[in-house]
Structure 1
Amino acid sequence: MAQPIFFKSPPSSTLAEIAALTKAHLVDPARGAHKIRGLASLDEAGPMHLAFFDNLKYADQLAATKAGACLVSPRFEAQVPKGTAVLRANKPFQVFVELAREWHADALRPRSWFDTEGIAPSAIIDPTARLEDGVIVDPLVVIGPRVEIGAGTIIGAGAVIGADVKIGRDCNVGAKTTIQFALIGNNVLIHTGCNIGQDGYGFIFFGPAGHVKVPQTGRVVIQNNVEVGAASTIDRGSLRDTVIGEGTKIDNQVQIGHNVTIGRHCLLAAQIGLAGSLTIGDNVALGAKVGINNHLKIGDGAQVTAMSAVKDDIPPNGRWGGHFAKPTKQWFREIIAVERLARDNETKGEGKE
């Protein structure tokens, strides 16, 4: 449930009002006057909370819930306890999220920690930088020469913005983030502790004089509506730019190497490592801790399961996984074959000391 210390309390609403707002069906209209004052999970909800159910893994929590009301699909409606009002919806979680976005808009993006407007006195801003009206700059920020920042953008405490960086409108740059050699679009969320635009990992390895550094003269280009999770790093390109496509959402602690191109509306879960000069298409989903080798192409709509190691190109709409990654059907067949072989060996007594 939302914590009032950190987030604003939602308005008190009747079930009838919630049903009208969300287009959910209140099964028992006689409960329409019941007041809801917040959202909560099934196991934490009380009589003044609205919860949702759409996963059988939580059937025990549904049976024991004390929630005042529950969003639920017609399939599971009969499992809701008698003391809990039923709001019927075909996609209960989606409706729950829509209501949460309405009630807790302040949780959708990072805010200034200081609830102030304008530029903090301790910020250091080069006189050649240009900030549009409505930019908020928190304490101890450093903004370099010729930087441009659009209206409505918030720069968090201790962030450092290097020379000539361009940041669009309605962006959020988290505290202790550093950005250099980068062009950033509108409505981009960069969470705390990110590093964007630093040198890529480029060397001529094992030469007579040791490892020779390759100049990294490209940029990082982040298009509109991208989100970058905390402590993620995006290296600038060597000859071409590193590009993050519109609408892509990147989780925490993701490393993106130089010259990588990521398409539109991709999903990258935590602790992914992308080697240099990799090209990823649109609408690609990569599970947590995926590693992808350099100079590969991942086609539009591809999906890679968590903890996979990718050494080959993946075709559009491919479903791959494993170490090394391969089509998931092939991977599953191989796993089954190995398990069967192990069982057969145990039956025969092989492998025993």
Structure 2
Amino acid sequence: MKRKDALRAALGARSPGREPAPELPAGNPGEAADTPPEPQRPLVRSGAVGAMGRSLGRIASAAAEARAMVASGDRVVELDPALIDGSFVKDRLSGDPEEHAAFVDLIRERGQQVPILVRPHPSEAGRYQVAYGHRRLRAAAELGRPVRAVVKALSDQDLVVAQGQENSARADLSYIERALFAIALEDRGFDRATIMAALAVEKTQLSRLIGIGRAVPAEVVAAIGPAPKAGRPRWTALVEALARDGAGEVVTRILAAPDFPGLSSDDRFARLLSSLTAPPPRPAPAPAVWTNLGGRPVVRIERDPQRTQLTIDDRLEPDFAAYLIQSLPQLYAAFTESKARDETD
């Protein structure tokens, strides 16, 4: 399978095509209360506390957007999550289960403070499609609650621009997720101007995003995950490393390591990059052989920068090994005396 086709398959891409957005359905499906005030942004820590902090931070950074929706006259309604489908373009790799669990706990305790944005489904009457807010939708479904949403008539182009800009504004997607989102849009036939608007990038940045995304094999991206701490320079270094001779064997070995899946996404990225860029090990020097007066190879000598190993063939000199062991105190004393003389000369 070509790399382009693998990436398309991984992202669930379909043939391009744009359908006109239908009119909004009649009726008011459970209008909700006004958006609550913006919570204070917490400090981000590691582990479960850090996951909760990141969830709070994302909600805090989006609260202003929710207030803007209400101020502009958009009504916030409550919808059954079972009636809402995801966007036709995937913008995320698999997330951190611990962070998702913390996000669900936060919604359970505080409620959904930021509405999602949906449009009437372009082909199924009575259903909706998410522009953004997939995690809030998933959390509401898991909690068995209706999801608070703003419903707008959006074209395909409007939807992907809203989806991309919402994530870009909140710095929510990692570099490789942004790259794959751009590739998915391009493969569906969207022009570069639309993709630039969706990701809030200029032409050169978009070209780099797409170039890097297409240069990394889909199986490598899937194995690493979003790697949120890896930006363009490190992904560029990985692309260069993958082009080296023998890189395929290294990738296969690293991805097959038993402990690799248990690492964090950033640690998986770091291990693969360091393994691909590490200098090759120097070949060990050939072992030397010491022969006795009869020319028999009695001692095999193997040395590396950290140790020296002597192997004595007891068949050739049955008593030599025992004699050498007994003589070690005298040999060491002679060695230290010789070393002291050298230092004083």
Task: Quickly name the TM-score band, shorter chain normalised.
Answer: under 0.3
Of Structure 1 and Structure 2, which has the larger fraction of its residues in strand? Answer: 1
**Which structure is larger by alpha-carbon Rg, 1 or 2?**
2
- Given the two structures, how large is their TM-score scaled by the length of structure 1? 0.26
Of Structure 1 and Structure 2, which has the larger fraction of its residues in helix? Answer: 2
